[in-house]
Chain A
Amino acid sequence: MNAKTLFEKVWEQHQVVPETADTPAVLYIDLHLVHEVTSPQAFSLLRSQGLKVRRLDRTLATMDHSTPTDPDEVFGRIPIKVESAARQVQELDKNCRAFGVELLGLDSDQRGIVHVIGPEQGATQPGKTIVCGDSHTATHGAFGALAFGIGTTEVGHVLATQCLLQRRPKTLAIEVKGRLAPGVTAKDLILAIIGKIGVSGGTGHVIEYRGEAIEAMSMDERMTICNMSIEAGARAGMIAPDETTFAYMKGRRLAPQGADWDKAVEQWRQLKTDPGATFDRVVEIDASVLEPMITYGTHPGMVVAISGSVPVRANDPVHEKSLAYMGLTGGEKLVGKPIQVVFVGSCTNARLSDLEQAASILKGRKVAQGVRALIVPGSQQVKREAEARGLDKIFIDAGAEWRESGCSMCLGMNGDLVDKGQYAVSTSNRNFEGRQGIGARTLLASPATAAAAAIAGRITDPREYLTALKA
């Protein structure tokens, strides 16, 4: 009778006031991550009403979306080129000082993409409720947290009250059977899941990713999976914490220490779906049959196996409009299509293992002539770790650009843009029209597929390079 899902356990532990027919639940928020784009108007609200930040100890700010990745701009040797972005960065700095919020600012060696630094700092923990004015907050669910994106009005609510008004979402289990084949990555799996359930398949639901392939994944891989939950319409995606989770977290700056650590781990072990607990929906997918995946259209559900062709959909004007934007035709093979840009980065795929994946293919090879390859680590710490392993040298020797951390070309707010009409193989999360620049044509894929495309100058199955490495 009392069997509960992971989501239900975390939800129930955070209800300050349960929901009624007339009012949503008052949900307590353990960790509020703040960044420069979606916070200025929330701080203005606090100012106009004479309010303060209720729990500074549960609020952590960084800057990532509008920040430059050129080291000369980052370290103040030249002004930030995008003036409005510079003003926004200054505004966050000003707001954090005025309200006393801890800020990992432009000059901090712990700065980075908000969804990379939360886990990295140990702030992201199992069983927590975590929000941020950013839809990719789902990333933190990889630790068994209930983490979701909110709007700026809600950012104001959390700053002022540490709570949100929320209706309880439904639950969706995604059961992943089998293991991924060599050369097929977490990114390929989540793209395949979105392709299967559709870009609104998770609307109104919290996803729990389960099964053998998920349990076998590293934390970096689990974060890639949960990160793109919103691309299936789900505000949150969760994975039950286990030994892999605890090993990742142990010793991190904001993780519990000493006796507190042991006590915390004991509690975290309870955070899994009980046998017999039921979900509102269950979807199964077989990981073992998947190939590397790549998108061909203008939303992440428009995705095929890399050996496949652009689908033909007669009498579907939306499909046709999307293909016209992409400069593709139904039936066309994707492999061999020339590309001009490669972007390895974003909150989806800019952690150390993602960079290692790209480097394993780029090592000793050259980026094809006419291709711009931009490699942007997810945080300054990832950057240092990558450099300690010599990855920066591999990238630079290959002819790629190696940058300071940030969201960068995922959405181009800082001026890192794809030009009109160019094809970009990107490890980011959205292939929407204009996402990477006006008229830019984004093909979402894994870091391995992006690196293979960089070398070949064309869409390429990354497994060709794996075979070459093994031979």
Chain B
Amino acid sequence: MQPIRIIESKTVVLPSSNIDTDQIIPARFLTTTTKEGLGKAAFSDWRYDSAGAPNPDFILNRPEAAGSLILVAGRNFGCGSSREHAPWALVDFGFRAVISTEIADIFRSNSLKNGLLPIVVDEATHAWLLANPGAQVRIDLETNSLTLPNGTTVKFPVESFARYCLLNGTDELGFLQKQENAIAKFEQNRV
């Protein structure tokens, strides 16, 4: 995984609350056995009509969304299924951060493992971001801070170990494997 420190981009806004992982990637795309190429399925039922033609009104199909790294979404983003295909699809589509007031637990955990930064902000910041789609925003993971175009900076929480892994481009498996002695001892003591 590539280290992440600064994410700077205009935002794309999906204001609906409770956007579930079935919307992020519908179940019919989950029969894949790889992680690659799922960006084309991201928000498929909102992006395309029944004939497969792009819906011109949907924000992700509009020219102003092109190249955005930051998705601002309504409250409780990523609820529902545990499918890691959801962050795989969002990352493959091009996103590197998701901002909301609440982000569902499993989706948040999956995102952190795939270089997609889940950012929870206060209601006022969120309301501003929803009202100003396309705003140029700077995220600094080193300082856990989000800076709005007017220079206002807000802090956001990130679990400390996940943050370490993202900043260093490392993954959790290596750390777990280093616990082998403790794991083996734990198993012996339980028998």
- Quote the shortest CB–CB distance from B67 to chain A (angstroms): 27
Considering only CB atoms, which chain A residue lies closest to B110 in the complex?
A: A151
What are the residues of chain B within 8 A of A203 when measuring CB–CB? 76, 102, 104-105
Binary per-residue interface labels of chain A (66-102) against chain B in the complex, 1 for a CB within 8 Å, 0 otherwise = 1000000000000000101101100100000000000
Binary per-residue interface labels of chain B (146-185) against chain A in the complex, 1 for a CB within 8 Å, 0 otherwise = 0000000000000111001000000111011101101100
Categorize the interface residue count of chain B. Answer: 35 or more
* A28, B191: Cα distance in complex, Å: 14
With known contacts A157-B172, A430-B22, A200–B79 Cβ distance under 8 A: yes
B27 touching A435 by the CB < 8 A rule? yes
B79 touching A299 by the CB < 8 A rule? yes
- Quote the shortest CB–CB distance from B87 to chain A (angstroms): 8
What are the residues of chain A within 8 A of B15 when measuring CB–CB? 317-318
A40 touching B34 by the CB < 8 A rule? yes
Considering only CB atoms, which chain B residue lies closest to A22 in the complex?
A: B160
Among B40-88, those with CB < 8 Å from A are 45, 50, 74-76, 79-84
What are the residues of chain B within 8 A of A66 when measuring CB–CB? 31
Judge whether A261 is part of the interface by a CB distance below 8 angstroms.
no
B186 touching A161 by the CB < 8 A rule? no
Judge whether B106 is part of the interface by a CB distance below 8 angstroms.
yes
A133 touching B82 by the CB < 8 A rule? yes
With contacts defined as CB atoms under 8 Å apart, how many contacts are there between chain A and chain B in the complex?
170
A160 touching B106 by the CB < 8 A rule? no
- Among B32, B81, B110, contact of A153 (Cβ-Cβ < 8 Å): B110
With known contacts A28-B183, A151-B110, A167-B159, A434–B31 Cβ distance under 8 A: no
A235 touching B105 by the CB < 8 A rule? yes
* A235, B107: Cα distance in complex, Å: 11
What are the residues of chain A within 8 A of B20 when measuring CB–CB? 299, 430, 432
A17 touching B31 by the CB < 8 A rule? no
A135 touching B106 by the CB < 8 A rule? yes
Judge whether B17 is part of the interface by a CB distance below 8 angstroms.
yes
What are the residues of chain B within 8 A of A311 when measuring CB–CB? none
- Among A37, A318, A434, contact of B22 (Cβ-Cβ < 8 Å): A434
* A218, B180: Cα distance in complex, Å: 40
Judge whether A199 is part of the interface by a CB distance below 8 angstroms.
yes
B79 touching A163 by the CB < 8 A rule? no
- Quote the shortest CB–CB distance from B83 to chain A (angstroms): 7
Judge whether B133 is part of the interface by a CB distance below 8 angstroms.
no
* A315, B113: Cα distance in complex, Å: 38
* A38, B86: Cα distance in complex, Å: 12
A233 touching B79 by the CB < 8 A rule? yes
* A462, B180: Cα distance in complex, Å: 55
Judge whether B30 is part of the interface by a CB distance below 8 angstroms.
yes
Considering only CB atoms, which chain B residue lies closest to A232 in the complex?
A: B79
B183 touching A16 by the CB < 8 A rule? yes
- Among A41, A135, A231, A432, contact of B33 (Cβ-Cβ < 8 Å): A41
Judge whether A134 is part of the interface by a CB distance below 8 angstroms.
yes
Q: What are the 10 closest A-B residue pairs judged by CB atoms, nearest first?
A: A84-B31, A40-B33, A151-B110, A151-B84, A149-B82, A135-B82, A200-B76, A411-B27, A152-B84, A153-B113
Can you report 8 A-B residue pairs in the complex whose CB atoms are below 8 A from each other?
A: A26-B183, A40-B33, A91-B33, A135-B80, A151-B113, A157-B176, A235-B106, A432-B22
